[in-house]
């Protein structure tokens, strides 16, 4: 990785040796204006140019120093921008839910994930922080904070029909679900099972 960065840096520096190019380090942009030309006020003086290119990175890579500077300048000049939001990202769970589901970290299952008319049939993965996997990453591009996401863990089965079919069976719920789901997922957490045993027994009696 370091070698690749050094090679990229050397390439950029080589091109920048063209007459008129300058590198300004630790240069803070204070103001950007445009009349006939662009005028950029910095802590190292003024810069005047016929054109201006801003390559400040995306908000998703903040650890590398990216900021919303590009968006702010775009708004300043009246450019229409799509309001940025997270995309292709995992979902995090609350600390309370994580305590209940921590032992399921590493479990992956085929599921149908949906939100607002969009659906993806992909694997989902339970992690030590929440939910990830292709299905979650895909639907995250359409999700907005506060909205709900549906996850069908048995997309090829009718849950009601499956329970009805096994209504007269003595099979434990965990064993029944294990026919269709990873056993750890079917069992869930001892205090937070996927389907409560009492609810299942109530269904068998009804």
pLDDT tens digit sequence for 57-95: 777 666 677 788 999 999 999 999 888 877 888 999 899
Q: How far apart are CA 153 and CA 110, in angstroms?
A: 7
**Most confidently predicted of 11-15, 19-23, 82-86, 122-126:** 122-126
Average pLDDT of the residues in 8-13: 57
Q: How far is 119 from 92, CA to CA, in rounded Å? A: 20
Of 89-93, 115-119, 158-162, the range with the highest mean pLDDT is 115-119
Which pLDDT does position 202 carry in this prediction?
Answer: 60
156 or 100: which carries more pLDDT confidence? 156
Q: Which one of 1.10.110.30, 2.130.10.10, 2.40.30.10, 3.10.20.30 gives the CATH number of domain 85-154?
A: 2.40.30.10
Give domain limits for the chain: 26-84, 85-154, 157-206
Report pLDDT for 5.
44
DSSP 63: G
In a 13 Å sphere around the CA of 165, the CA atoms on its Cβ side amount to 7
Question: What confidence score (pLDDT) does residue 66 get?
Answer: 78
What is the model's pTM? Answer: 0.64
Q: What is the token pair recorded at 148?
A: 């709900």
Write out the E strands in 55-191. Answer: 91-92, 108-115, 118-126, 130-132, 150-152
Average pLDDT score over the chain: 83
């Amino acid at each position: 990785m370091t070698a690749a960065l050094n090679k990229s840096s050397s390439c950029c520096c080589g091109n920048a040796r063209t007459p008129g190019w300058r590198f300004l380090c630790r240069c803070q942009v204070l103001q950007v204006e445009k009349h006939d030309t662009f005028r950029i006020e910095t802590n190292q003086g003024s810069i005047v140019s016929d054109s201006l290119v801003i390559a400040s990175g995306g908000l998703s890579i903040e650890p590398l120093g990216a900021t919303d500077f590009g968006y702010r300048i775009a708004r300043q000049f009246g450019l229409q921008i799509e309001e940025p939001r997270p995309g292709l990202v995992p979902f995090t769970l609350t600390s309370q839910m994580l305590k209940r589901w921590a032992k399921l970290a590493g479990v992956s299952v085929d599921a149908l994930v949906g939100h607002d008319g969009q659906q993806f049939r992909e694997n989902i993965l339970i992690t030590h922080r929440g939910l990830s996997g292709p299905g979650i990453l895909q639907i995250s591009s359409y999700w907005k904070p506060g909205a709900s996401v549906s996850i069908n863990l048995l997309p090829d089965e009718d849950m009601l029909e499956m329970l009805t079919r096994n209504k007269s069976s003595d099979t434990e719920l965990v064993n029944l679900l294990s026919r269709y789901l990873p056993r750890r997922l079917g069992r869930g957490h001892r205090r937070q099972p996927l389907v409560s045993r009492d609810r299942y027994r109530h269904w068998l009696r009804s």
